[in-house]
């Protein structure tokens, strides 16, 4: 997602490409696609095969190519080719879930939102800060408890922390800087 901040369309498409794909693959794929087309109308001049070739090897690249074309048609038909800046409007677009919608409003429009992925959901619950069972519930609980000034940076902070310290299985509790504050909810083994 690096480098896409500020342009809502690029943020939206890069986010769709990033789902179930590592960032090291997503960035170059997005760059190849945006070199061909970087707006909804321009994207619709491409064939599904051209998009597939540009975004390969992202996960589900064939499906994502079709979703991108449908999304671009929808943006043109319903929003005049402009990406909406409200979460509820974004959620009406095919292929856009809460995480993507929040990412678009935060990175594309610099508006407050909380992007809840697996790391944010797991770590927020593990710390005992919230008690939820799904990422959507976690988003709502965090909106109710986390001060708004922390919303935008919360995801980046916890993703990095989750990849390096607070792993899903056997977290590195011995190296954790917040261990004295952590309730370790659900942790059965750690390093």
Q: What is the mean pLDDT of residues 146-167?
A: 92
pLDDT of residue 189: 92
Catalytic annotation, pick one of 38, 85, 117, 156: 117
Q: Is 117 a catalytic residue?
A: yes
Per residue in 39-92, pLDDT tens? 999 999 999 999 999 999 999 999 999 999 999 999 999 999 999 999 999 999
Catalytic annotation, pick one of 99, 110, 136, 172: 99
Distance CA 78, CA 88 (A): 14
Distance CA 180, CA 85 (A): 39
Question: Is 53 in contact with 40 (CB distance < 8 Å)?
Answer: no
Q: What is the mean pLDDT of the chain?
A: 94
pLDDT of residue 21: 85
Question: Which of 5-9, 41-45, 139-143 is least confident?
Answer: 5-9
Per residue in 82-129, pLDDT tens? 999 999 999 999 999 999 999 999 999 999 999 999 999 999 999 999
pLDDT of residue 23: 83
Distance CA 51, CA 34 (A): 10
pLDDT of residue 60: 96
Domains of the chain: 8-109 (1.10.340.30), 118-181 (1.10.1670.10)
Instruction: Report H helices in 37-129.
Output: 40-43, 48-55, 61-79, 87-90, 98-103, 109, 118-126
């Amino acid at each position: 997602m690096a480098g896409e901040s500020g342009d809502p369309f690029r943020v939206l498409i890069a986010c769709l490409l990033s789902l179930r794909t590592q960032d090291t693959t997503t960035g170059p794929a997005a760059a190849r696609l945006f070199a061909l087309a970087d707006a909804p109308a321009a994207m619709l001049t491409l064939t599904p095969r051209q998009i597939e070739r540009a975004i390969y090897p992202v996960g589900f690249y064939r499906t994502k190519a079709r979703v991108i074309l449908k999304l671009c048609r929808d943006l043109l038909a319903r929003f005049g080719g402009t990406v909406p800046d409200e979460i509820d409007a974004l959620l009406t677009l095919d292929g856009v879930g809460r995480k993507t919608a929040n990412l678009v409003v935060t990175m594309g429009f610099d508006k407050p939102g909380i992007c809840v992925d697996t790391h944010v959901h797991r770590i927020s619950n593990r710390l005992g800060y919230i008690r939820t069972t799904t990422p959507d519930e976690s988003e709502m609980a965090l909106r109710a408890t986390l001060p708004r000034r922390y919303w935008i940076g919360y995801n980046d902070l916890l993703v990095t922390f989750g990849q390096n310290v607070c792993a899903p299985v056997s977290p590195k509790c011995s190296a954790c800087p917040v261990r004295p504050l952590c309730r370790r909810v659900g942790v059965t083994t750690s390093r």
